[in-house]
Amino acid sequence: MTDNARRVAQLFLDPPREAEWRPALVGVSRLAFAMLPPLVREMYGFPLGPARQVAVDAALGLTRVVRPFLPAKFRYLAPYDMWRRRQRGEIVPDQVGEARRSLGIRLGG
């Protein structure tokens, strides 16, 4: 574990107060850290006790229920969608950028 890795982790776990979408970033980062392998979680100093595990499981379950009802630009994950289609045997061109544009998803400023 390097100092740089710790600094980046801290930025995710405690985003700057002025960060847009700060509450969502805090929640998403905690879920991301909770899904790391136990050894890596420990290296980052993010223990996952029983209560936190129950909360993570509930949040992920809720996400599975709510996600289908969100607008496409919030629920569409192009790489995951492409992977799923390939798993079904579809020939899928690697055109993530075009797919994002067609859904109105803009990355960057």
Q: What are the φ/ψ torsions at residue 67 (nearest 5 degrees)?
A: -50, -45
**pLDDT average, residue stretch 88-102:** 75
Share of the chain above pLDDT 90, in %: 20
Q: What are the φ/ψ torsions at residue 6 (nearest 5 degrees)?
A: -65, -40
For tokens 């993530």, the residue is 96
Report which DSSP code applies to 70.
S
- Asked whether residue 49 carries a pLDDT value surpassing 70, the answer given is yes
Long-range CB contact pairs, 67-74, < 8 A, 24+: 72/103, 72/104, 73/103, 73/104, 73/105
Q: Which amino acid is at 60?
A: L
Nearest to 103 by CA among 84, 85, 81: 81
**pLDDT average, residue stretch 36-40:** 91
Determine the Cα–Cα distance for residues 24 and 15; give it in Å rounded to an integer: 10
**pLDDT average, residue stretch 17-39:** 86
The per-residue pLDDT for 108 is 61
Determine the Cα–Cα distance for residues 70 and 1; give it in Å rounded to an integer: 37
